[in-house]
Chains A and B, each alone.
Chain A
Amino acid sequence: MVERYVMSIDQGTNSTRCILFDHHGRLVSVVQREHQQHFPKPGWVEHDAVEIWRNLRRIMPEALSDAGVGAGEVAAIGIANQRETTVLWDRRTGAPLGRAIVWQDTRTAPLVEDLRNRPGDEFFLERCGLPPSTYFSAPRIRWLFDHVNGLDQRAKDGEVLFGTMETWLIWNLTGGAEGGLHITDATNASRTMLMNIRALTWDEELLEFFGVPRPMLPEIRSSAEGYGDARSVLPGVRITAALGDQQAALFGQTCFTPGEAKCTYGTGSFLLLNTGTDLVRSRHGLLTTVAYKIGDQPPVYALEGSIAVTGSLVQWFRDRLGLINSAPEIETLARTVEDNGGCYIVPAFSGLFAPHWRSDARGVIVGLTSYITKGHLARAVLEATGWQTREVVDAMNADFSVPLKELKVDGGMTADNLLMQFVADVLDVPVVRPMVAETVSLGAAYAAGLAAGYWPDLEVLRRNWHRAAQWLPDMDPARRDLEYGNWQRAVERSLGWIRPPRPR
């Protein structure tokens, strides 16, 4: 029998990657292409959807030729993508109507502020599981309707299609204007603020509220099921999975059991906890989201806590303060001292995210004395990531009946042993790193392979997961409590720094 492979596409914020995986979940080839970031105004972030599609068309064949694999040996294609990034395009020509608005773009902030006041968070939480935030797609669609002449009417007339990145790419891969599939999956749809989190269908009330016409929306499908065959690039190859990148990472980490959680440590960090088929509504500032939906099985939900500034604090330390030359050197500098010397950094650069959700917070460094060296600051930088993880885990433990027993980690910062040990210390649970670092791509491959019958069941995938490293908690409980108390007091000092612009 010919060896077959699963192709995974990770359409990320900075680049698009195409990876082939073999039966053991091992990486066979990787091709990557970056795309341009457009910053037309402060707070605006845009991508050119055509550039991304062009990149994908290049890298898919390259991934095959690098490994000497023919299109016929690809069992299935799965896609993971940057979530919430919004593309509108012309149904007949396939041309995007302007650039894609990226998830980091904050142009909808005033609109979001209004929504939080009226009708208020509860209205949205009840229906889509999300409080209004600049992250999500629906406020962006509204913004476009309010700022692009005639767009609203064209959408009502059925001339305009909406999609997040997976929708855009699948539509193009399956024929584009010539009958391309206009679909999304439940995980991506759960980040639009338009999907009913229980029914997994577009919510009439939310559509009406945002004024989004039904014909522009893709069909919501499972995360893993046969969508259709590609008609361009690799004609005839089945496309069988799509997931938002963080959900893909949860899947790639094989967190299939309620209570299992992963944290991806990158520029920001995303902690997702599998809560099973129970929809858990957070009382502690977490988001309720769809983790995955396999075929016609019931959906599996997750609680998500996102931390805005983790790796980017290290980058700031490197690029803005110039105290280190490369990000990994933060560990070297931090190890020049025994502890933080009483210094704490709360990196609320653009407010605090989960579980505080305080946009009026700004960063603070507290506990400065003449004793503090750059080594102490380096410690405080790393510890900030640890404590922010702890706050999210505390919220998860408060919201969900199964307390966290172990945290699976991935992302660039997992190379930092001091940080990983600190995370284990402050969470008081083991922290484990898997052997395949590319968990996002692996998750999309797993979902695709599962739907295509390449892998029989979740158990087989679980057996592919191997521990590459493990950090065990080793901190005196009294010290942990004392330090956590100090961190919390530091957080209090970051709150309320930004005054409201207008008197109420």
Chain B
Amino acid sequence: MAGPVQSIERAAAILRLLAGGPRRLGLGEVAASLGLAKGTAHGILRTLQHVDFVEQDASTGKYQLGAALLHLGTSYLDINELRSRSINWADALAARSGEAVRLGTPFEGQVLVIHHVFRPDDTLQTLDVGSLLPLHASSLGKVLLAYGTASLESASEAGLEAYTRHTLVVPEKITRALAQVREVGWAAEIQEMSMGEAAIASPIRGHGGLVVGAVGLSGPVERICDSHGRPRPNLITLLREAARAISRDLGAAR
């Protein structure tokens, strides 16, 4: 086994140093505290800054721990906070689109529905916050898979369940579909979980751009999709606007 990597040890020492005090530290202070040459300390600090583990104050040039590092240990955003921050945007999305809206986050290899806004037609609907959806067969799940927020490993051992004849169960097809999601920025699920139903979803990004969840709208396939069986462009626009608005809110506040 190789010995410890010196530069990583030094980087760790710098992070501990920055975490230890209440104030920002200048390059000279960091170097002196750890007995490093200024050039060495600077190289490490720049690398840490590059991966967002360290931030440099623009006016003083001093260093502090970066937001990415702060969120590393608790990289999940509290789901109730996510709901609370999204609620106005999710309401507006439901009101404008005329469809039901859901937010999902990953939970034990599935999608946990953390928020649900009724379709605004006052028909009898049941709140399904707390229910679970399959990752591979739901648009919310596909978003979480596409951006690495969730993974299929545990589920795929037993084989993926086909809910309808449209459900994607072949790994290659899923991989291709997820690449497509990343390319266009939204996911669709057209009769893949239940016949007659369709949904689209888009990623919610937290601080630093990390995808923390997905927001989507769903309804009968003929309302979500146009005559070519493709999701309606106006719904996609509304959805992506809402997703961006929620992401903005989450990113703006640390």
Contact = CB atoms under 8 A, between A and B. Distances in A.
A37 interface: no
Given A329-B78, A469-B127, A436 B83 contact: no
A470 B127 contact: yes
A329 B129 contact: no
B122 interface: yes
A436 B81 contact: no
Interface string A397-438: 000000000000000101111000000000000000001110
A185 interface: no
A412 B84 contact: yes
Nearest to A25: B95
Interface string A95-119: 0000000000000000000000000
A471 B127 contact: yes
B127 A329 contact: no
Interface magnitude class on chain B: 20 to 34
Contacts of A468: 91, 94, 117-118, 120
Given A435-B91, A435-B117, A437-B91, A327 B129 contact: no
B41 to A, nearest CB: 32
A149 to B, nearest CB: 48
A26 B95 contact: yes
A10 interface: no
Contact of B80 (A331, A412, A470, A471): A331
Interface in A325-363: 325-332
Interface magnitude class on chain A: 20 to 34
B143 to A, nearest CB: 22
A173 B106 CA distance: 52
A27 interface: yes
Given A435-B95, A437-B87, A471-B127, A329 B118 contact: no
B240 interface: no
Interface string A114-143: 000000000000000000000000000000
Given A325-B78, A326-B84, 14 more contacts: A326-B81, A328-B80, A328-B81, A328-B84, A415-B83, A417-B127, A435-B95, A435-B117, A466-B95, A466-B118, A466-B121, A467-B125, A469-B116, A471-B127
24 contacts: A27-B92, A325-B78, A326-B81, A326-B84, A328-B80, A328-B81, A328-B84, A332-B80, A415-B83, A416-B80, A417-B127, A417-B129, A435-B94, A435-B95, A435-B117, A435-B118, A436-B95, A437-B88, A466-B118, A466-B122, A467-B120, A467-B122, A467-B125, A468-B120
Interface of B: 78-81, 83-85, 87-88, 91-92, 94-96, 116-118, 120-122, 125, 127, 129-130
